[in-house]
Structure 1
Amino acid sequence: MRGRGDDATSQLLDALVHVSRTLGSDPRLVLHGGGNTSVKTTTADLTGAPQELLWIKGSGHDLAGIGPEGFAPLRLARLRALLPPTEITDLELANELRCASVDAGAPDPSVETLVHALVPHTCVLHSHADAILALTHSPDGRALVERLYGDRVVVVPYAQPGQALAAACQEAWQEQAHDGTEGIVVLDHGIFAFGDDPAQALERHTALLALADAHLAAAPALPEVPTPPAPAVDPVAVARLRSELCAVAGRPMVLTRSADEHVRRFLATPELVDATRHGLLTPDHVLWTKRLPLVGDDLAGYAAAYREYVDEHAARSGITVTPLDPAPRVVLDPALGMITAGRTAAEARATQAIYRHTMDTIAAATRLGGYRELSAEHVFDLEYWSLQQAKLHRSRPAGPLAGTVAVVTGAASGIGRAAAAALLDAGTSVVGWDLSPDVATTFDGPAWLGLQVDVTDPDAVRGALAAGVDAFGGLDILVVAAGIFPGAAHLDELEPSAWRRTMAVNVDSVAYLYGAAHPLLALAPRGGRVVVIASKNVPAPGPGAAAYSSSKAALTQLSRVAALEWAGDGIRVNMLHPDAVFDTGLWTPELLAARAEHYGMSVEEYKRRNMLHAEVTSADVGRLVVAMADDTFRCTTGAQVPIDGGNERVI
């Protein structure tokens, strides 16, 4: 990065990276891109003239894994010129921060940059520490912070990040700061600790939080409440909630359900559940959790209340806003547990993590005398802040299937794996099933859940469907790709056991799966979709493949019946007939060579022995699976589509 310059600057940045990762590794301090850190340096510019720079964390970067490239170098003098009495709008501030950078390739700087610029110390570390939020949410939070820290910190009332927070911090700094000041506590927001270098800033941050932790540890315990047993939850109930929530949101959403002991104990404590009606910990969380959770199942009432909240505060502010969707992002229901929603699986999990810390902090503040309500005005102002809206727009999920959930059988290899990969690329959250344990690690990331499943075991199928609903909330897309080819055998050589095994895997298991999956597919927010990997052997069987050809023909007929029976539920069922897909585990190099030799061809010629002379790959099949699952096939059900490069026997 330009401007990193001399060794002293490099060493200081490396030290900043180290302490930033230390903060970022502790979820009690920052979560999912929260918090920010900075150092100030004097570095020669291209002309050799000295310039003071503020290196500040880039907006949205995660402290847990940040590197030097995650910091934006800004001209410190320009930043300080933007402090009061200079008046500046939010959009002007965003532009000025961008223009203050000395590196055009650097990330956009944090919106709290001006607070870092205000503080004279070399290093500033900012976190949304749970313990600090618990103190400030107690009934007399400011007085408690002042008693606990004395004059070690400057105490600032909550103000919106950006120019307003910088102005509030500047005013409080001028009134309260002195040579020994170690930090700033912003009520309902977090803590800024600083020092002459990153190590000292981290030491002070740790020491200040230790005082808060000790105070919380000494507070009276809450009355013991027996933890109820885990509820028996019907996956269809969760899928129905998802369907209704998506209707309110106006888009497909991913839901994640939790009902562990931590959640059950919280939901069994009426005082804590009631405290959730007082709002979130800090307005910074509003884009993840909204202002309030839904307690119970009255989605219509929640949506109406959200619309009233928007109308009331838009009128107060005298602004015109485009309301965000009124669907909750957190649902607390003793019958289901805690359910969190997001546009993607990553968002749903982030919301879950944030709300778990919210529950802990609500409990901590309650032990200090009660959980004080957060101002709805502050929350609205941040939720509809132009810079927050821009961030929300930038993070809009990509892909035609964003927010949808799929189950793919046979997902650890071959066509099933390719279908899963294509769906993931299209924005789908995918539950992959396979007999191989490798399915657990076939893909990585929050949108993937790999389960070892024997599709011929009805109990395993029901359990896997339930696990997928717990992970992602429902089922929109079912891709039937699991299957076996028992090996070539003419009818007079066919073993009954091979016949039965082929039928059990390729047909019987799917008949059961259809029955188990139908109630979930019928609740898909935009209609269920089934894509069946059949075979060219259905329209054009070959000798020696009686069991395989018959099983795929039976699977096709079964799926045609499903298309007839399920159309009224908005579920479409379509079939693919691949042929000569050679990049699967079935085709070893030795087998390919032998078959090519049998036909007097090279391996490459054999791969393309179709009318179009095209090599059909599993990725080609995967792309067609996505087309059948997205709106391309919106008006089609019961179709049988070959993907074989053209076959005279089929045509």
Structure 2
Amino acid sequence: MENRWAETHTDPLDACVYGSRLLGREPDLVLHGGGNTSVKTAVEDVTGRAVEVLHVKGSGWDLASIERAGFAPLRLDRLRELLTVPDLPDHRMMNELRCALLDAGAPDPSVETLLHAALPHPAVLHSHADAVITLTNLNRPRVEEVFGDRVVVVPYVMPGFALARRCAELFARHAGERTVGVVLMNHGLFTFGEDTEQAYARHVELVDAAETFLARHRPARRPAPPLPRADHRELAALRREISSAAGHPVIVSRHTDPATAAFVARPDLADVAGRGPATPDHVIRTKRVPLVGRDVAGYAADYRRYFEEHARPGLTMLDPAPRVVLDPELGMLTAGRRAKDADIARDIYAHTADIIERAEALGGYRALPAGDLFDMEYWELEQAKLRLAGAPAEFTGEVALVTGAASGIGRACAEALRARGAAVVGLDLTPTTSSTDYLGLRVDVTDAAAVEEAVARGVERFGGLDVLVASAGVFPGNTPIAELDAAAWQRTMAVNADSVATLLRVAHPLLKCAPRGGRVVVVASKNVPAPGPGAAAYSASKAAVTQLARVAALEWAGDGIRVNSVHPDAVFDTGLWTAEVLAQRAAHYGVSVDAYKRRNLLGAEVTSAAVGRLVAEMCSETFACTTGAQVPVDGGNERVV
């Protein structure tokens, strides 16, 4: 491990912020909110009296991006008093920690605050270093062989008061002049120093020693052939089974990188993967074990037995669906309520698989017993977090595909669906930037092969398809029928109608697998019920796609798929309407631009956002009993009414 310290800070808390970020940016040390850090200082309170303060990482902050506000300041003398009581249940401990804060607006202190207070050093850093955890998760741990008397070893105890007391006791008994850290078995590494820079340097030294030792024993990676392309219909069906076990829709992402391909090809995959996570806090994200194979019902039944064996009175079982699926043909699938959750499970299990392989080369991987892992999974503090989380957004766990997603109505539809919790695959000729819950793909919707490829990529990323919004369209300009250009006519029909037929054909088997039923919304036009002169190609193509949607509603109702259309009109915040064109049209009618925009019965300005909100609502439970409908969004048009 490389020492990356390169700054000078005179303020101890600023130095702690900097050192925390250095740790947090190393995925081999800290993943997704893991780890915690602290620094002890002295401040004057409102009375002018000097007070010793422990600034400790606050709950909910990520070390990779933490700021000064992310540290909770607590009275150190009160924390030391708490360490003298014989017992302190977790909920009472957290209450006492909040009462010890100097700032009522500070975040909740880390559950390991008392451990930081127990270590008699100004600066303390804690990580879940993969290399150190590998040394602890062995049939014959090698911690003392690697570190000698530089660390105090603490047997596994759940985080909280009991761990802090046990660590304080063992540290007082075994720490010596050469001691620079504490190794918590199956949990991670603490280092300390006179300042954060020294604590960080010691962290680097110990992790590097562990990595050097492991490098001498690292197994040769078994070469594995690339995993084949999965049938996206099978992935969608598997997602439906996982969603059914979870009791709600989930995102399922597929991972087929070379390391994953090699791991799932292991002949002992079920054995090694079935031993448990590398560190118990991972159980919150990955469950105790992954599903090996595709028997989701069998996994759920095993989970129920696990719960019944270890449950205490008053506990409510969490959902029994797997969060990680390992399969020799599929690779690794990770599941979560949101794409972010599935990605976290991926990151954690990728590191777990590496730890398992290195541990197996050193005599055998061993995780904690199931009872200890159950205690973490059903820890009262984690249960409290779940209760406080609130209800998820309506489309959480669902996947939408939107065409024409880079601008105008298509972009507004994508934004409205994302705002209500959906993950979105956006297709457009103009490239769009992807993010955790958005996959932007450059696709010509008239290219059937490209559309099929894009849909398959969307399924690999998010697991299936629940919502389809056909918004891509072109308007060839005002041209009388007598002057129609054949190529323009064909292009308009290809984009506005033919491409939707292709998309519906490709999407149908996926929409059939949607956990809460598939939904399709076709963005048509006011020109369907009320065409205008000079728009023959546009009006005919939108009429054709509307008729296509009506037939789909008839054919697909038995599959639980509802298909509806919207008819927008005069949506002026799209690429079609430039300021120059708007001014010309307003002048033609002898009105201002603002008046021209509001030429409808309600005098309303129809925006892309208004269309997007309606489209999203039509995918909601509000329209659960509606299919085959055509809904205008035009402010009221006397020719239509």
> Are 1:409 and 2:399 counterparts?
no
Q: Which amino acid aligns with 1:476?
A: D
- Using the alignment, how far apart are the partners of 1:15 and 1:229 within structure 2? 45
Deviation digits for residues 168-214 of structure 1, max 9, x if unmatched? 21221122123432111000000011000000000000001111111
Contact in 2 for aligned 1:272/1:366 (Cα 8 Å): no
SS in 2 for 1:270: coil
Question: Which position in structure 1 is the counterpart of 2:262?
Answer: 265
For 1:252, give the aligned amino acid.
P
Task: Report the AA paired with residue 569 of structure 2.
Answer: D
The aligned residue for residue 94 of structure 2 is 94
1:105 match: 105
Question: Cα distance 1:16–1:373, how it changes in 2: closer, same or farther (>3 A)?
Answer: closer
Match of 2:422 in 1: 428
Amino acid at match of 1:132: V
Letter in 2 for 1:583: D
The C-alpha deviation readout for 1:298-348, integer Å capped at 9, x for no partner, is: 11111011011111111xxx4321100000000001121100001100010
Is 1:275 the counterpart of 2:272? The answer is yes
| Structure-2 separation of matches of 1:205 and 1:40 | 18
Residue by residue over 1:238-290, the C-alpha shift from the partner in whole angstroms, topping out at 9 and shown as x without a partner, is: 10100000000000100110012111011112235521110111111111100
Q: Which amino acid aligns with 1:389?
A: Q
1:214 alignment counterpart: 212
Residues 457-483 of structure 1: CA deviation (Å, up to 9, x unaligned):
111011100110111000000000001
TM superposition shift of 1:9: 10
Q: Deviations over 1:122-152 (max 9, x none)?
A: 01000001001111111111xx212221221
CA contact (8 A) 2:186 2:367 kept: no
1:400-479 mapped onto 2 (5 Å cutoff): 400-437=394-431, 439=432, 441=433, 445-479=435-469
TM-fit CA distance, 1:87:
1.7
SS at match of 1:547: helix
Q: Which residue of 2 aligns with 1:500?
A: 490
Partner residue, 2:602: 612
1:193 to 2:191 alignment: yes
Answer whether contact 1:343 1:397 (CA < 8 A) is retained: no
For the pair 1:299 / 2:324, whether they are aligned, the reply is no
Q: Which residue of 2 aligns with 1:544?
A: 534
Do structure 1's residue 153 and structure 2's residue 160 form an aligned pair? no
Residue 621 (1) aligns with residue 615 (2): no
CA shift, 1:446, in A, is: 0.5
Closer/same/farther in 2, CA of residues 638 and 555 from structure 1, 3 Å limit: same
Match in the other structure for 2:499: 509
Map of 1:41 onto structure 2: 41
- 1:409 and 1:479 in contact (8 A); partners too: yes
Structure 1 match to 2:167? 169
- C-alpha separation in 2, matches of 1:23 and 1:304: 39
1:514-529 superposed matches below 5 A = 514-529=504-519
- C-alpha distance in structure 2 between counterparts of 1:397 and 1:406, whole Å: 20
- By how many angstroms is 1:375 displaced? 1.3
Residue number in structure 2 paired with 1:327 = 321
The answer to whether the 8 Å contact 1:37/1:125 transfers is yes
In 2, the alpha carbon distance for the partners of 1:538 and 1:517 equals 24
SS of 1:37's equivalent in the other structure is strand
- After TM superposition, give the deviation of residue 397 of structure 1 in Å: 6.4
Structure 1 runs not aligned, ≥5 long: 1-7
CA distance in 2, matches of 1:422, 1:99: 42
Cα drift, residue 84 of structure 1: 4.0
Match of 2:78 in 1: 78
How many matched pairs?
634
Within the candidate set 231, 234, 247, 1:250 is matched to 247
- The residue correspondences of 1:313-352 to structure 2 (distance < 5 A) are 313-314=310-311, 318-352=312-346
1:98–1:149 CA distance, 2 compared to 1 (3 A): same
The yes-or-no answer on 1:563 pairing with 2:553 is yes
Query: What secondary structure does 1:126 align onto?
Result: strand
Give the drift of 1:48. 1.0
Tell me the amino acid that sits aligned with residue 405 of structure 1.
V
Find 1:578's aligned residue among 558, 561, 568: 568
Deviations 1:391-431 (A, max 9, x none): 23444563211111000000000000000011110000000
Indicate yes or no: 2:30 matched with 1:30: yes
Of 586, 600, 604, 1:596 maps to: 586
TM-score of the superposition, structure 2-length normalised?
0.97
Q: 1:587 aligns with which of 577, 586, 592?
A: 577
Deviation sequence 1:44-75 (CA, Å, 0-9, x none): 11121000111011112111111111111111
- Offset of 1:225 from its aligned partner? 2.8
Provide the TM-score with structure 1 as the length reference: 0.96
Paired with 2:194 and 2:479, the residues of 1 have a C-alpha distance of: 79
- Partner Cα distance (2:177, 2:322) in 1: 46
CA distance in 2, matches of 1:513, 1:220: 48
Matched-pair contact (CA < 8 Å) for 2:279–2:367 = no
Helix, strand or coil for the counterpart of 2:445?
coil
Root-mean-square deviation over aligned CA pairs? 1.3
Distance verdict in 2 for CA 1:221–1:91, change over 3 Å:
same
